[in-house]
Structures are given as C-alpha cells and as structure tokens.
Amino acid sequence: AQTVTQSQPEMSVQEAETVTLSCTYDTSESDYYLFWYKQPPSRQMILVIRQEAYKQQNATENRFSVNFQKAAKSFSLKISDSQLGDAAMYFCAFFQGGSEKLVFGKGTKLTVNP
C-alpha cells in the first residue's frame, strides 16, 4: 500500500525566514509524481509544487523548492523568505505511476509569526 508520512503536525517560522517541511513516502515503483498542496483557512486546495520522480533536478517555484531524495523516499518542501500569507496547512501527496489514486499525508500546519 502506498503511504505518505508527514512527521511534523505543526511548524512555525518567523516572517522572512526559511522553513522546511518534511515528507516521506513508501512505494515499490520507480515512476510517480509527488506534490505539495497548500490549504489556507479558505480550505481551497492549492498546488504549490510538483516533482516527477524520473527527474533528478529538484523542482522550484519562486520561493518554494523541494529536496527530493529518491533513494531515501524523502520529499521535503523549503519555503524561503516566509510571508504571512504562507500560513496554512501543507499536504504532501503522491501519484504512483500506473495508479490512479492521489494519496495524501496528514498535513503540517504552518504558522508564520510577524
């Protein structure tokens, strides 16, 4: 079974600082997609960043970047220059190649302190 583990239920960061959210996953497949979704208080699920497993280069989207360690099955999200608007729940998710299920971790609640 596919599983996604986020070991940090809550994290906090000072505005303008950097924070890293952790995610590990379990799969026996070699092809898959990994995602970080953001859920602000509005509850809308917003895609932050996506990583294809066959790509060695870590994905980057402006202030958001990932550290993808395929052998370790680790997929952490780094938020640089944190802003108040980054405060939200962050979910790590996983689409296994050949599977049609998007599996989510339990989420990490990020607080940004002014």
The residues, ordered by sequence, that sit 6+ positions from 96 with a Cβ below 8 Å of its Cβ are: 2, 27, 29, 31, 32, 103
CA gap 8, 64 in Å, rounded: 18
Provide the minimum distance between the beta carbon of 1 and another protein in the complex, in angstroms, as a whole number: 11
Q: What is the closest distance, in whole angstroms, from the C-beta atom of residue 81 to another protein in the complex?
A: 25
Cβ 19 vs Cβ 36: under 8 Å:
no
Read off the tokens for 51.
């990583």
Amino acid symbol at 87: A
Looking at the Cβ atoms of 37 and 86, the one nearer to another protein is 37
Nearer to another protein, 32 or 112 (CB): 32
Q: Which is nearer to another protein, 68 or 105 (CB)?
A: 105
Q: How far is the CB of 31 from another protein (least distance, A)?
A: 7
Query: Residues interacting with another protein, by CB under 8 A?
Result: 31, 33, 35, 37, 42-45, 47, 50, 91, 93, 95, 97-98, 100-107
